Amino acid sequence: MTSDSAAHHSPAQAGTTFLPGPVLLLGAPGVGKGTQAQLLMAEFGIPQISTGDILRGNIARGTELGKAAKELMDKGQLVPDQIVNDMVQARLDNDDVHAGYILDGFPRTLAQATWLDTHLPIFGETPPLVAVNIRVDEAELLRRITGRRTCTVCKHIYNIYSHPPVKPGVCDIDGSTLSQRSDDTEAAFAERMKAYVSLTAPVIEHYRASNRFREVDGAAPVEEVAESIVSALKSLRQSKH
């Protein structure tokens, strides 16, 4: 399932009157933001907006933006704020975001968070944005990162240790080849964690200080984490902002 196809899914019965609205999924590389965003997208019919996926799409198409981003991404460093802010701005101009969306991998710096906070009213966002931080300890993150494989077509995420495909290297859903991200190496992971600690951890504190923030334990099985996120979202949407 791609971000673009998400808009065509209808909301699940479980949430007949509940729509999550704009959601930020926060957490270190490998906590499962992408996997959880895909589940929320399927359940609620709102799109996943992953800045990493948009950048990888640009690399695959050989755009100027992709060429500028690739070297930084392969080293595990962040792409400049202006580039990702512009990408998010363009994505939020699409019509499929009105019932809500899941931002995955953005904002990653305080400057991006401030930009988003000031621009959301311009994007016409209602109800207000809520943030869920997924926590997993660092040793487990490395295992998840190095074991991650992604379907080249539907983008479903596997892990060769904890959620392997039936046939190695082949997607269970559509039979396409699985690939490993070029930044899912131990060396790039170390850099990504450095960027996370110095630049992204303050973003979590920024949203924690608001009353629109919850935290979930990401070490549990995928379905349990998904349930915790949905309960967190329901409780956030019930509380007054």
Smallest distance, Å, CB 38 to ligand AMP? 13
Smallest distance, Å, CB 1 to ligand AMP? 16
Q: Which one of the listed residues 148, 149, 155, 212 is annotated catalytic? A: 148
Residue 67 is a catalytic residue: no
Residue 108 is a catalytic residue: yes
* CB closer to ligand AMP out of 29 and 47: 29
| Contacting residues toward ligand AMP, per CB under 6 A | 29, 51-52, 55, 72-73, 76-79, 84, 105-106, 108, 112, 183, 192
Smallest distance, Å, CB 113 to ligand AMP? 10
Smallest distance, Å, CB 19 to ligand AMP? 24
Residue 148 is a catalytic residue: yes
What DSSP letter does each residue of the chain carry, written as one string?
--TGGGGGSPPPGGGSS---EEEEEE-STTSSHHHHHHHHHHHH---EEEHHHHHHHHHHHT-HHHHHHHHHHHHTPPPPHHHHHHHHHHHHTSGGGTTEEEEES---SHHHHHHHHHHHHHHT--S--EEEEEE--HHHHHHHHHHEEEETTT--EEETTTB--SSTTB-TTT-PBEE--TT-SHHHHHHHHHHIIIIIHHHHHHHHTSSSEEEEETTS-HHHHHHHHHHHHHHHHHS--
* CB closer to ligand AMP out of 19 and 77: 77
* CB closer to ligand AMP out of 51 and 237: 51
Q: Which one of the listed residues 135, 181, 208, 237 is annotated catalytic? A: 181
* CB closer to ligand AMP out of 125 and 183: 183
Catalytic residue list = 33, 108, 148, 181, 192
